[in-house]
Amino acid sequence: AQKITQTQPGMFVQEKEAVTLDCTYDTSDQSYGLFWYKQPSSGEMIFLIYQGSYDEQNATEGRYSLNFQKARKSANLVISASQLGDSAMYFCAPSNDYKLSFGAGTTVTVRA
């Protein structure tokens, strides 16, 4: 399995501010996908955003955007205008041969 590094185990962010979650990975593939999932305290896994390794533009999905740097093998998630409902664990997950490998996650706590 790939090694995925999410260096920030926990982060606090003020409501309405932006937060950036770091993710690096070690794939040797040239073609792959990058996914971010959200896991609230209720436990379900919610798909947030996808980036293809050959996509020239960084992916955006509402308040979520990816800062993808292929040469650095980095795919940071930016959450803009944080809301209280954004408090959750966030996982970075590169795909390889249609299988996902998950990082350990970053816990985000949004403060009012």
Partner 1 sequence: DADVTQTPRNRITKTGKRIMLECSQTKGHDRMYWYRQDPGLGLRLIYYSFDVKDINKGEISDGYSVSRQAQAKFSLSLESAIPNQTALYFCATSDARASTDTQYFGPGTRLTVL
Summarize as ranges the residues that interact with partner 1 (CB under 8 A).
1, 4, 33, 35, 37, 43-47, 50, 52, 91, 93, 95, 98-105
Q: Which is nearer to partner 1, 91 or 110 (CB)?
A: 91
Q: How far apart are CA 25 and CA 73, in angstroms?
A: 6
Closest to partner 1 by CB, 45 vs 81, is 45
Residue 81: CB minimum distance to partner 1, A: 24
Question: CB of residue 100 vs partner 1: minimum separation in angstroms?
Answer: 6
Which residue lies nearer to partner 1 by CB, 10 or 69?
10
| Torsion, CA 90, CA 104, CA 101, CA 79, rounded to 10 | 20
Q: Measured from the CB atom, is 17 or 61 closer to partner 1?
A: 61
What residue type is 101 in one-letter code? S
CB of 83 to partner 1, least distance (A): 22
Contact status, residue 11 vs residue 109, Cβ threshold 8 Å: yes
Query: Shortest approach of partner 1 to residue 80 CB, angstroms?
Result: 22
